[in-house]
Homo-oligomer: A and B are copies of this chain.
Amino acid sequence: MQDIGIVVPQCASFDSPLTLKSGAVLDAYQLVYETYGELNEAKSNAVLICHALSGNHHVAGFHSEDPKSAGWWNNMVGPGKPIDTGVFFVIGVNNLGGCHGSTGPASIDPKTGRPYGASFPVLTVDDWVESQARLADRLGIGAFAAVVGGSLGGMQALQWAISHPQRVRHVLAIASAPNLTVQNIAFNDVARQAILTDPDFHGGNFYAHGVIPKRGLRLARMLGHITYLSDDSMAKKFGRGLKKGSYNYGYDVEFEIESYLRYQGDKFAAQFDANTYLLMTKALDYFDPAHAHEGDLARAFAGAASEFLVISFTSDWRFSPARSREIVKALLDNELKVSHTEITSSYGHDSFLMVDEHYHAVVRAYMRNVAKGAA
C-alpha cells in the first residue's frame, strides 16, 4: 500500500454567473482542486470527495517531502487504500467560500479591487453542489461513480443525490446528519459570536485593517475541537493531567487539555480565514432537505436514484448514530438501496478521519462494489 506521492493543485475558472440559494449572484469564481488516479475512457470511475468545515481540496498525497503535508484523508484515499486511486479517479475540491484557493471572502472582488470580506454571499450546501457540478462538467464527468463525504461533507454527498440524482451512482454519507440539532446550532452560534464580536473582525472587512480576528477564531476552534472529540477519548488522551505536575492557582495553563486546546486554537487562527469559518458554520445550520417538505425527510429523497452507504460512530455526540438512522429510514422509505454501519469507536465525531479497521474495511468493500458498476 503506497501513497500517491507529490500532488499539485489545479484551478478551474468559471465566468457564467452562479445564482445562489440566498438569491445573491456570484458573477465569476474559481475552484481549486486536486485529482488522483486516472479517469477511465468511459468516464465512469470518478469519485468526488467533499470536505467538512475546516477541510480543503488537498485530500490525499503530499504537497512536499514533508510528511506533515499529507492530505487530510490520506489514510482513506490512495493506491490500494479503501478509496483506491488505482481504480478510481478521485477529485478533491476546495469549497466555494473557502480559504485555500477557491474564491472566498478573502479573494479580490473584481468589481472593487478589494477583498470581498463582508460582501461575500452566504452559501449553502446546495450552492456547493451546483459549483461542484460545474466542475464535473468541465472535467467531462457526466455522473460520479460516488460522491463521498464526512460530516458537512456527508451533507454535500446527500444533497448530490437530491439535486442531481442521475449524476451520482453512489453516495457515502459518513458521520453526517439530515440537519443540525439545535444544540449544534447553538455551539455554532457561540463560535460565530466569538468571531463577530472580536474587535479585530471589523464587520468582516479586517483585511483592509491589516489584522485578523484571531481571538475569536481561536475560541471558535477551541470550542469546536471539544465537540469533535468524545469525553472518553479526551479522558484517555489527557485525563486531568497537569502541565507542570502541581496546581499553580492561576490562569496560565494548568491542565494538559488547556495547553492542547490553546495550541490548536492558535494554530488554526493563524491560518484559517474568519469569514470562511462563519460561512461554513452557516451552511451547516441551513442544511435541512426536509425543510422544503414540511419536515418529511423521506419526501426530500423522493427523487433520489443513487445507492447509499451510511456510516456513523458510536461516540459521535455531534452527529450521533441516531441522526444517521434518520437518513437510513428516509432512504428506505423510498425503497432505495442502503447499506448502513454503526462503527464502535471512542474518538467522537473525529472518528471519520481516523484509521479504524472495521470502518476502513466497510468502505473498502463498498467501494469494490462501486468499482464493479463503474468498470
Contact = CB atoms under 8 A, between A and B. Distances in A.
A189 B257 CA distance: 9
A336 interface: no
Contacts of A255: 182, 185, 189, 285
A186 B21 contact: no
Contact-residue bracket for chain A: 35 or more
Contact of A192 (B223, B251, B282): B251
Contacts of A181: 231, 234-235
19 contacts: A21-B249, A22-B247, A181-B235, A182-B239, A185-B255, A186-B222, A186-B257, A186-B258, A189-B257, A189-B258, A193-B222, A193-B262, A199-B199, A240-B288, A247-B286, A249-B286, A251-B282, A254-B285, A255-B285
Complex copy number for this chain: 2
A197 B229 CA distance: 24
Contacts of A239: 182
Given A124-B249, A190-B222, 12 more contacts: A22-B247, A181-B235, A182-B231, A183-B235, A186-B222, A186-B226, A189-B222, A189-B262, A192-B251, A193-B218, A197-B215, A251-B278
Contacts of A193: 218-219, 222, 262, 265
Contact of A183 (B198, B226, B254): B226
Tell which of A22, A229, A249 has the most Cβ of chain B within 10 Å.
Answer: A249
